[in-house]
Amino acid sequence: MRGHNTNQIQLFSYVPIESQVPQNHPLRSIRDLVDPVLERISGRFDEIYSKTGRPSIPPEQLLKALLLQVLYTIRSELQLMEQIQFNLLYRWFVGLSPDDKVWDETVFSKNRDRLLDGDIAQAFFEEVIADARKRKLLSKDHFSVDGTLIEAWASHKSFKPKDEDGPGNGSGGTGAGNVEADFRGEKRANDTHESTTDPECRLYKKTKGSEAKLSYLGHVMMENRNGLAVDACVTESNGTAERDAAFAMAMDLPGEHRKTLGGDKNYDTKDHNEDLRTLKITPHPAAKKQTSLDQRTLRHGGYEASQKVRKRIEEIFGWLKTVGPMRKVHLRGRRKVEWQFRFALAVYNLVRIRNLAGEYT
């Protein structure tokens, strides 16, 4: 018998939102990982919120919403609020009932900025790493490091002379908005120019033959057993930033035992290798033709293994720039960019831990 098409919508629904989410949905295992982490950093939330006044968006729900934004490549807070409004899966994950009102995107952004001031991304990242360590997923001895270019939220037209309005400052053309500008023949350098949109970014190109972009450099240290990111930072874009960041992260590695640190050819310099050896870390960078590595290191089987595994760090960068928000960030200022970079890496680690837990169970 043919069913009848009716447009009448029921006023009430008694189906629990929990029953609408499949038992094998990936977000269930992600939420099981996230909830204990948020519980452990609850004390950090107390430090950045006032004891009086009108209640704000619960920070746990705020972070879960930001996590969804990274996982599902949602471009803006406005789109995120629209998705949470009608998507029962997102409401369930965040912790909203079908009747709860979704937040205004402006209020959401202001509450997110409060988390920036509390270094919550660092605490969240560390707790995710602690969870991976309890599950014995991390290597204690072998690591790799690399850097990637993070395009800043600023255009070339904003890159103007510091002291005066010179040619190519975007003042040509008629009318307001995206006016025409011609930079041909103009010498532009970070010493004489800076972006009026994001003064902390720098004009930089990471490889020969590529175009120079207003950017930051994001650095990741990966453990070699399962490819989890164990440390990260964002620096100014310059030629020595990768080695400086690698040494700074290497200093924070726990334990006094001997370790190895792999990298590409950019890390193969005499000074950098000697600095690592003072930390009881054997450098395993890809060797240049005129390398500073001794033959004993190059012949060792561990060096060959490091060279194979270190390339997996590109998988992290690929995920951050295709799924995550790090191809071109929508925040300005190095501190905010680093917050987003660390948080996106924590989300990557959660996905990786979830997949690894499935392999080992």
pLDDT computed for residue 231 by the predictor: 96
Return the DSSP state at 279. T
DSSP per-residue codes, 87-106? -HHHHHHHT--TTSPPPPHH
On average, the pLDDT of the chain sits at: 88
Closest CA to 169 of 159, 178, 177, 179: 159
Integer Cα distance of 266 and 107 in angstroms:
44
Higher per-residue pLDDT: 246 or 188: 246
pLDDT at 11 over 70: no
Flag the least confident range among 139-153, 161-175, 182-196, 259-273.
Answer: 161-175
Higher per-residue pLDDT: 206 or 284: 284
pLDDT computed for residue 3 by the predictor: 64
- Reported as a single tens digit per residue, the pLDDT across 314-357 is 999 999 999 988 999 989 999 999 999 999 999 999 999 999 98
Q: What 3-state DSSP class applies to 6?
A: coil
- Reported as a single tens digit per residue, the pLDDT across 125-168 is 999 999 999 999 999 999 999 999 999 999 888 888 888 654 44
Strand ranges inside 152-301, DSSP E: 159-161, 193-195, 202-204, 213-223, 229-236, 259-263, 281-285
- Reported as a single tens digit per residue, the pLDDT across 282-304 is 999 999 988 888 888 898 889 99
Are 46 and 92 a contacting pair, CB within 8 Å? Answer: no
DSSP 3-state percent helix, strand, coil across the chain (nearest 5): 45, 15, 40
Closest CA to 245 of 223, 225, 261: 261
Burial class (CB in 10 A: 0-12, 13-18, 19+), 195: buried
Q: Could you count the other beta carbons within 10 Å of the beta carbon of residue 225?
A: 16
DSSP per-residue codes, 210-223? SPPEEEEEEEEEEE
Flag the least confident range among 175-179, 203-207, 266-270.
Answer: 175-179
pLDDT at 188 over 90: no
Are 204 and 215 a contacting pair, CB within 8 Å? Answer: yes
Are 203 and 223 a contacting pair, CB within 8 Å? Answer: no
All residues at 6 or more sequence positions from 296 whose CB lies less than 8 Å from its CB, including other chains: none
Task: Give the global pTM.
Answer: 0.89
Cα separation values, 285 from 205, 209, 227, 230, Å: 21, 23, 17, 19
pLDDT computed for residue 221 by the predictor: 97
Are 294 and 268 a contacting pair, CB within 8 Å? Answer: no
pLDDT at 19 over 90: no
Closest CA to 337 of 156, 190, 201, 196: 201
Integer Cα distance of 184 and 149 in angstroms:
24
Flag the least confident range among 105-114, 143-152, 301-310.
Answer: 105-114
Token digits for 166? 């010179």
The full set of domains in the chain, from first to last, is: 17-118 (no CATH), 139-152+215-329 (3.30.420.10)
Are 292 and 175 a contacting pair, CB within 8 Å? Answer: no
Phi/psi for 46 (5° steps) reads -60, -30
* Angle ∠(256,262,266) on CA atoms, nearest 5: 125
pLDDT, mean of residues 255-263: 91
